[in-house]
Amino acid sequence: MKRVIIVLAVLFAAFSVFAASENALEIFSWWTGGGEEEGLLALFDLFHTYYPDIEIINAAVAGGAGTNAKAVLKTRMLGGNPPDSFQVHAGMELTDTYVIPGLMEPITFIYKELGILDKFPKDLLDIVSYKGEIYSVPVNVHRANVVFYNKKIAEEIGMKKEPTTWAEFLMYLDKAQQKGYIGLSLGDKNKWTSLHLFESIVLAELGPEKYNKLWKGETSFDDPAIKHALSVMKDLLKYVNSDHSALTWQDATRLVFEGKAFCNVMGDWAEGYLKTLGWKPGVEFGWFAVPGTQNAFMLVSDTFGLPKNAPHRENAIKWLKFLTTVEAQDTFNPIKGSIPARIDADKSKYDVYLQWSMNDFSTKSICPSIIHGSAAPEAFSTALMDAINKFVTEQDVNKAFKEILWIAEDNGYVAD
Amino acid sequence: MKKIFTYFFLILISLYILVPLYVLLATTFKPLQEIGISDMWKLPKDWSLSGFIKAFQKLGPNLKNSFYLTIPATIISAFIGSINGYVFSKVKFKYANLIFAIILFGMFIPYQSILFPLIRFLQSIKLYGTISGLILVHVVYGIPITTLIFRNYYSEVPNELVEASYMDGAGFFKTYTKVLFPISIPAFVVVIIWQFTNIWNEFLFAVTVTSSPDKQPVTVALVNLAGSQVVEWNVQMAGALLTALPTLVVYVLLGKYFIRGLLAGSVKG
Amino acid sequence: MRKKNLVIGISVVAPSIIAIAIFVYGFITWTLRVSFSNWNSFSALLRGEYKFVGLRNYIRLFQDTRFQTDLWNTLFFTLFFLFGSIALGIVMAILVDKGLKGSRLFQNLFLFPMAISFVVTGTVWSWIFAPGNLPNNPQGLNLLFQKLGLDNLMWGWYTSTDSLGHFNLALIPVIIAAVWQLSGYTMAMYLAGLRGIPNDIIEAAKVDGASEWKIFWRVKMPLLTPITLSALIILGHISLKIFDLVFAMTGSGPNFVTDVPAIYMFELTFRSNRYAMGSAIAIIMLLFVAIVIVPYLFSSMRGEKR
């Protein structure tokens, strides 16, 4: 009998622990290292100053740059137990995977309530919307179409002005190579970085307007500009390090840092990495938009949405409203090394590079990145990534172009 | 003369086998400053444990997970194998051999061919993403090999021993505990070592069944380490060493039984 | 009494039989079913509506250049891996069998790679074979070659996209790593086999004046045929489903030169959400293995009846 009572007592205690988490908020992300984790925790702390009674459960999953987390999330959504809110790339990654199958609640009402529809670039709100309703709150913004370069080498090869055309860029790459440096470092062991490079070239060739129309079915993929993008990439590949398939993106950025390579095309998380290695923006390294894309901002953005049947819906809404504030965004982004999605943020909190990025963000056209989940569904981007992987080796422009058309058609885009 | 020849080749082959071990150890014990690509083959100048300590910090929780996974799974699958082995070797029933062959086939299948349904199944019984789920997986898929090893072992035991026990009035289970179990120790050692090594080293199930870092076994954590932000090679190699250490220790201490397990699935034919 | 034990015996193994029935055969059937479906996106999975599309996924796979590369890679990897492991294993066994002083030590040394995870092996060899930026900044083994003055031995290893016909040279380092891992196994098998050869046969041959070499090829090897067969089967089936080693060591490689069906299956299922295609690859892998294993199992079982 005594045993039964003890068991019951334990069960009751356990149950009350569960019952106590009534006022909780489960936030799901893959921010588990470095500045990302720090930034997330700072956000939690700030959130607590407003809502001290809400218990935040940090359900972050590490590994594979989010691929593990995405797999876990799919499983949970499939099994009908969503977190209260989860990190997801702006655009198609959310729309195609969860909005279209009807698993998310529209949150346009949050923006309307707070009167902040004009505080975010219209292009960005467009990306996070589906059929007129907004489905997520962008928290941070990275720019993907950036070239980071080693200033010492730039001086050595006589680069006075940053290149704005392919011709100029190739000339400098050539000069660097003549002097024994790697022109453009690339690390595509994990395959995605070559698509990262290619999509910026496509952006340069098509121009932001046409590029954006591709995803809406208003422009065809069968455009000479895309074919030309492949030729440009082929030219660039002449100046790439021979062991690119054994390196990760960090290794490639590191080559620039070690003075072995002149430059590298990468999203501005590379800027954060260069800073952790000890460099200062504008001092040892410089940057410019990928030639031809000066008037476009290729966007990579993390956002949070509201899943249907969120266990603590009211708290989730509080979280989302919180994320839209300047205070929250200016807390998270300086730590993570990205810029806020709001255009009225406090610029003084950000370093020289990020300020440059923020200026462009509020003035230039915003374009969704393919490989970072914004422009197209995963099936398309992984297929394209494989096609570009082949192209890097085979360098057969006609063959690759045909494959791109086939992939586009296969995924419902216009290809004729 | 012939002896020199033999030793020469033995040493040559040993070099091949030892190269990765050398790289592993030399890199592990270098301090961060000495990790230069051009210094890869040099011995550490200042022997340092910093890489090892850092790796232990990063992989520590995952090492724990691996132990939580491997020890229960090994013990449970050893017992199941033992009792199954008893039946298949000492109890005569129709189609016993056929059924056994059907079970044995399970040892050879590519796990890819059952991976997706397995995940869905584990989700439906709420064991997905848990160590318990992974234990279940390894116990089930360990049935063929453990049964095989015990079956072979018990078939060497004279049937008369078992018959005598039955004559004395002992039932099925009594016979097991009084007669077979006491003499099964060698087989248990083989099975335990073999299962421990395999389950500890396994990657595919580990990476697909568990997905949050706090539940993942060390093999997955090692691969994640290799793909993570800053690549400090001394930490990477130290991590690899840590992952290999438990099974290496088992191998060094009980290698003889390890080899027996190795040969169980092959030479029998 | 006998009958009672029979009943108990069967009920004891019944759970195992049921478990295997579900977890092996049931799941295989499930995978087979999915491979015939249209579940190639997350939303299709969510909706759960099953649409039978016959062999469409299989046909697409065989038309897929990446999968074709995978098949060629599997063929050449298996070929050279089997040859390498068995050859080296035999050599190791012969050398160790001589029983010279220290043989025990060498034997144990040759076997230790088997105690290590494929993942560890892949990680370490990946670093050893990383080519560096040739020709000025070699790394790993290339660096060693440079230091020894063997510059012209430096090459791209697993970053190389060269091939001899359909044999991708980038597979060579992977094969070297795999042979490293498993040749000890072959050695153990042949050692056991060699020790099982009755001495009088060897003595008789010696009396007849046969040389050591002749004794080996004409007497020992034929007697070791069952071992060779076993080795081929066991290593063969491992080779057909290889995943961990390649995944940890090289991934798919540039232009998929080191890609294998297991990696493609993993990516399709767990990254691209194309479950039906992934399942089709899984079934194909199963068929490959079955072709090798089923006859083997049949003959062992029959051999036992005798």
Q: What is the pTM of this model?
A: 0.85
pLDDT of residue A2: 61
Nearest residue, CB atoms, C272 vs list A190, A379, A389 = A379
Determine the Cα–Cα distance for residues B244 and C119; give it in Å rounded to an integer: 10
| Closest in B212, B216, B227 to A248, CB measured | B227
Query: Among A326, A377, A301, which residue's Cα sits nearest to residue A126?
Result: A301
CB contact under 8 A, B227 and A61: no
The DSSP code for A266 is: E
Per-residue pLDDT of C153-206, as tens digits, reads 888 899 888 899 999 999 999 999 999 999 998 998 898 888 888 888 888 888
pLDDT beyond 80 at C304: no
Contacts for A357 with CB less than 8 Å, ≥ 6 apart: A141, A143, A268, A339
Closest-CA residue of B relative to A78 is B123
Mean pLDDT score, B107-135: 88
Q: What is the largest CA-CA distance in chain B?
A: 74
Tokens of C283: 């079934």
Q: What's the pLDDT score for residue B230?
A: 57
Task: Answer yes or no: do A292 and A395 share one domain.
Answer: yes
Give the pLDDT confidence score for residue A153 in this predicted structure: 95
Does residue A208 lie in a domain region?
A: yes
Question: Which residue bears the tokens 């590379």?
Answer: A270
- Collect all residues of chain B within an 8 Å Cβ-Cβ radius of residue A190: 227
Q: Are residues A199 and A312 in the same domain?
A: no
DSSP H helical ranges for chain C? 2-20, 27-35, 42-47, 56-63, 65-97, 103-111, 118-129, 140-147, 171-195, 199-207, 212-214, 221-223, 225-240, 244-249, 261-270, 275-305
> What's residue A135's pLDDT?
95
What does the pLDDT read at residue B228?
Answer: 59
> What subunits make at least 3 CB pairs under 8 angstroms with A?
B, C
Q: Considering only CA atoms, which of A36, A26, A2 is closest in space to residue A276?
A: A36
Q: A314 and A242, same structural domain? A: no
Mean pLDDT of chain C: 88
For position A70, what pLDDT does the model report? 83
Give, to the nearest 10 degrees, the angle between helix C225-240 and helix C65-97. Answer: 150
> Which secondary-structure segment (H or E) carries A297?
strand A296-307
From chain B, the residues in CB contact with C143 under 8 A are 37-38, 40-41
| Count of structural domains, chain A | 2
Contact status, residue A274 vs residue A283, Cβ threshold 8 Å:
no
B91, C6 in Cβ contact below 8 A?
A: yes
CATH class of the domain comprising B53-264? mainly alpha
Is the CB of residue C237 less than 8 Å away from at least one CB of chain B?
yes
User: Which domains can be identified in chain C, with CATH numbers?
Assistant: 65-305 (1.10.3720.10)
pLDDT at residue B267, rounded to an integer: 47
Structure tokens of C120? 């560890």
Size of interface B-C (CB pairs under 8 A): 261
Instruction: Decide which of C246 and A61 is more confident.
Output: C246
Q: Is the pLDDT of residue B4 over 70?
A: yes
ipTM over 0.90: no
Q: Are residues A256 and A394 in the same domain?
A: yes
What element of type H or E holds A300? Answer: strand A296-307
Q: Is the pLDDT of residue C299 over 70?
A: yes
On the question of pLDDT at A201 being above 80, the answer is yes
8 Å CB contact of C137 and B222: no
Alpha-carbon distance of C41 to A284, in angstroms, equals 46
Decide if A246 and C255 are in contact by the 8 Å CB cutoff: no
Task: Please choose, from the candidates C233, C240, C231, the residue with its C-alpha nearest in 3D space to the C-alpha of residue C287.
Answer: C240
Q: What is the pLDDT of residue A63?
A: 63
- Residues 238-257, chain B, touching C (beta carbon < 8 A): 240, 243-244, 247-248, 250-252, 255
* Phi, psi of A327, rounded to the nearest 5 degrees: -55, -50
A416 in a structural domain: no
pLDDT per residue as tens digits for the range B244-262? 889 888 888 887 777 777 7
Quick one: what percent of chain C has pLDDT higher than 90?
A: 43
Please give the backbone phi and psi of residue A184, each rounded to the nearest 5 degrees, phi first: -125, 115
> pLDDT at position B42, please?
82
Whether A76 has its CB under 8 Å from any CB of chain C: the answer is no
In 3-state terms, what secondary structure has residue C254?
Answer: helix
Q: Confidence band (pLDDT; 50, 70, 90) for C306? A: very low
Tens digit of each residue's pLDDT (9 = 90 or more) over C186-199: 998 898 888 888 88
Which residues between 150 and 189 in chain B have a beta carbon less than 8 angstroms from any beta carbon of chain C? 166, 171-173
A190 and C CB contact within 8 Å: yes
How many CB contacts within 8 angstroms connect chain A with chain C?
81
Does residue A376 contact residue A215 with C-beta atoms inside 8 Å? yes
Model confidence band, residue B166 (pLDDT cutoffs 50, 70, 90): confident
Tell me if B41 and C147 make a contact (CB, 8 A cut-off): yes
- Shared domain for A305 and A363, answered yes or no, is yes
Residues A71 and A181 in one domain: no
Contacts of A75 in chain B (CB under 8 A): 119, 123, 128-129, 211
In this structure, the answer to whether residues A153 and A257 fall within a common structural domain is yes
Q: B89-96: long-range contacts at Cβ-Cβ below 8 A with a sequence spacing of 24 or more?
A: B89/B150, B89/B151, B89/B152, B89/B154, B89/B155, B89/B157, B90/B154, B90/B157, B90/B159, B90/B162, B90/C9, B91/C5, B91/C6, B91/C9, B91/C10, B92/C6, B93/C6, B93/C9, B93/C10
pLDDT at C133 over 70: yes
Question: How many Å separate Cα B48 from the centre of its chain?
Answer: 30
pLDDT, average across residues A116-143: 93
Lowest mean pLDDT among A338-347, B167-176, C111-120: B167-176
The CATH number that applies at residue A171 is 3.40.190.10
| pLDDT of residue A19 exceeding 70 | no
pLDDT at C292: 86
Averaged confidence pLDDT in chain A = 89
pLDDT beyond 60 at A126: yes
Residue type, C182: L
Do residues A267 and A221 share a domain?
yes
Pairing of strands A146-150, A285-289: antiparallel
pLDDT tens track for C216-267 = 887 888 888 888 988 998 899 899 989 999 998 998 888 899 999 999 998 8
Looking at the predicted structure, is the pLDDT value of residue C22 above 80? Answer: yes
Best of A243, A262, A407 to mutate (most C CBs within 10 Å, chain C): A243
Q: Domain-by-domain residue ranges, chain B?
A: 1-48, 53-264
CA distance A122 to A127: 9
The pLDDT confidence band at residue A18, using thresholds 50, 70 and 90, is very low
Chain B residues with beta carbon closer than 8 angstroms to that of A78: 123
Which chains does chain B touch, 3 or more C-beta pairs < 8 A? A, C
**pLDDT of res. B180:** 85
Q: B93, B109, B208: which to substitute to probe chain C, counting the most C Cβ within 10 Å?
A: B109
Cα–Cα–Cα angle for B69, B131, C120, rounded to 5 degrees: 55
pLDDT of residue B157: 85
Domain that holds residue A219: 146-298+369-410
A263 pLDDT above the threshold of 90: yes
Predicted confidence (pLDDT) per residue in A361-409, tens digit: 989 999 999 999 899 988 899 899 999 999 999 999 999 999 999 999 9
Answer for the pair C123, C223: CB distance below 8 angstroms, yes or no.
no
More confident residue, C304 or B84: B84
Does A267 share its domain with A400? yes
In-domain check, residue A333? yes
- For C53-87, the pLDDT digits (tens) are 889 999 999 999 899 999 999 999 999 999 999 99
> Average pLDDT of C123-136?
86
Contact between B97 and C304 using a beta-carbon 8 Å cutoff: yes
Q: How far is C201 from chain A (nearest CA, A)?
A: 53
What pLDDT was estimated at residue B231? 59
Q: Which residue has the higher pLDDT, A384 or B96?
A: A384
